[in-house]
């Protein structure tokens, strides 16, 4: 008999997990603390490792109708706008990895996953359900909400993000996320509202001392997602991913940048911001699963956005979780969750560590910055490509 699985969290990690498990004929109860299913307005880069999983989840065709397919990744200096390196994407990614590199608006990816989950017929969705207590027994798991509703199932998946409540049941000794001292500003602009010189079909990256900026197309190329990350004092509530911000606060953190980048920043009509928090890379499988409870995505392994793989690792987790339980029933859950954690923890830890290292390289100053720029000019695509990640 298929397992009855509870999932805490209705973001990308939770919906992808629900869809993957439902496609393996398990019965799912998913609960979300917000009053409605929604995502904030940010973009996501999806490398071949991620689009390959979305093909396996049956949502690839829907994804191609809402995503953009950039033709190159271009790295420039935030000082003078000189090109430092270039990596062909488009057909080059297909030839190398048999899957495309796509950019999508987070809300669009969330919406298509939600539609697929609703269409599966195997998932019950509940909103306005804030977790109060989690209890695990040898044969079952129960979750109660703060308004005294109770769900019981054979297993629980914690997909409830960076500030996870479920995490405390897997790691009894655990510290809160760490403030990094980095702040991110983001914006979404209609491509048609930009001057032609600022429109782009590429993923563009500018590197500067203690900062970098990224811009890439989303929504079939009809909009441009812009993100600036700087080592600046945190703003607002650390748990708020959608704070109002301003160009002046951004410029105070970055200083004056190259004319091309400055023109783009000034063309943005409104900015949002969030403070970056982090956890140390995973140290072992016990940090991802314990008996009948498993953690996926940011609940298990939050990572800085300097490798553009936070959503990607959550989607990889979802597919691996379902594969681990393939054909299993309630009795098989503890062994399946253990297999899942053993399979996933090292890859997630590697991505977490590489994202941290990229932040140091992207934001380098002095001789390290000069060496970085020289290496990019000399080796170009060889440094920008990451086969160990995209082939996984």
Query: Which pair of tokens denotes residue 265?
Result: 């920043």
User: Of 97, 101, 216, 306, which residue is the catalytic one?
Assistant: 216
Are the C-beta atoms of residues 254 and 260 closer than 8 Å to each other? no
* Residue 60 a catalytic site member: no
How far are the Cα atoms of 104, 173, 207, 342, 353 from residue 203, in angstroms, in the given order? Answer: 12, 40, 13, 34, 23
Write out the H or E segment, with its range, that includes residue 345: helix 333-362
- Give backbone dihedrals phi and psi of 5, rounded to 5 degrees, phi first: -120, 130
In whole angstroms, what is the distance from residue 103 CA to residue 93 CA? 13
243-245 and 271-278: which strand pairing? antiparallel
Q: Cα 292 to chain center, whole Å?
A: 25
Kindly provide the b/e burial profile for residues 168-185, where b requires at least 16 CB atoms within 10 angstroms of the residue's own CB. ebbeeeeeebeebebbbb
CA distances from 117 to 22, 94, 349 (A): 8, 28, 29
Cβ partners under 8 Å of residue 252, min gap 6: 232
Handedness of CA 380, 363, 69, 99 (dihedral sign): positive
User: Which helix or strand (DSSP H or E) is residue 357 part of?
Assistant: helix 333-362
Q: Point out the residues that are catalytic.
A: 216
């Amino acid at each position: 008999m298929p397992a009855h699985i509870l999932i805490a969290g209705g973001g990308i990690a939770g919906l992808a997990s629900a869809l993957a498990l439902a496609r393996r004929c398990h019965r799912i109860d998913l609960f979300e603390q917000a009053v409605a299913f929604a995502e904030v307005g940010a973009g996501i880069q999806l490398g071949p490792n991620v689009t390959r999983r979305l093909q396996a989840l049956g949502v690839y065709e829907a994804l191609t109708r809402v995503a953009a397919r950039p033709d190159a990744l271009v790295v420039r200096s935030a000082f003078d706008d000189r090109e430092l390196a270039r990596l062909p994407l488009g057909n080059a990614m297909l030839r190398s990895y048999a899957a495309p590199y796509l950019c999508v608006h987070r809300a669009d990816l969330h919406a298509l996953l939600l539609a697929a989950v609703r269409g599966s017929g195997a998932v019950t969705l509940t909103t306005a359900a804030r977790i109060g207590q989690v209890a695990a027994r040898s044969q079952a798991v129960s979750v109660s909400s703060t308004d005294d509703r109770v769900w019981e199932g054979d297993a629980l998946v914690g997909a409830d993000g960076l500030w996870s409540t479920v995490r405390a049941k897997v790691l009894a000794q655990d510290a809160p996320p760490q403030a990094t001292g980095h702040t991110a500003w983001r914006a979404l602009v209609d491509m048609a509202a930009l001057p032609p010189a600022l429109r782009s079909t590429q993923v563009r990256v500018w590197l500067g001392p203690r900062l970098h900026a990224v811009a890439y197309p989303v929504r079939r190329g009809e909009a441009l997602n812009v993100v600036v990350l700087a080592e600046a004092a945190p703003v607002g509530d650390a748990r708020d991913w959608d704070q109002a911000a301003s160009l002046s606060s951004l410029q105070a953190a970055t200083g004056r940048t190259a004319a091309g980048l400055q023109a783009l920043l000034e063309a943005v009509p409104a900015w949002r911001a969030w403070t970056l928090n982090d956890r140390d890379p995973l140290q072992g499988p016990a940090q991802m699963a314990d008996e009948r409870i498993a953690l996926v995505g940011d609940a298990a392994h939050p990572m800085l956005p300097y490798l553009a793989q936070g959503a990607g690792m959550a989607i990889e987790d979802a597919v691996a979780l379902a594969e681990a339980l393939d054909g299993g029933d309630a009795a098989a859950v503890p062994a399946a969750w253990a297999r899942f954690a053993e399979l996933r923890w090292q890859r997630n830890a590697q991505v977490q560590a590489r994202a941290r290292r990229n932040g140091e390289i992207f934001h380098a100053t002095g001789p390290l910055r000069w060496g970085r720029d020289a290496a990019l000019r000399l080796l170009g695509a060889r440094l920008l490509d990451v086969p160990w990640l995209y082939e996984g």
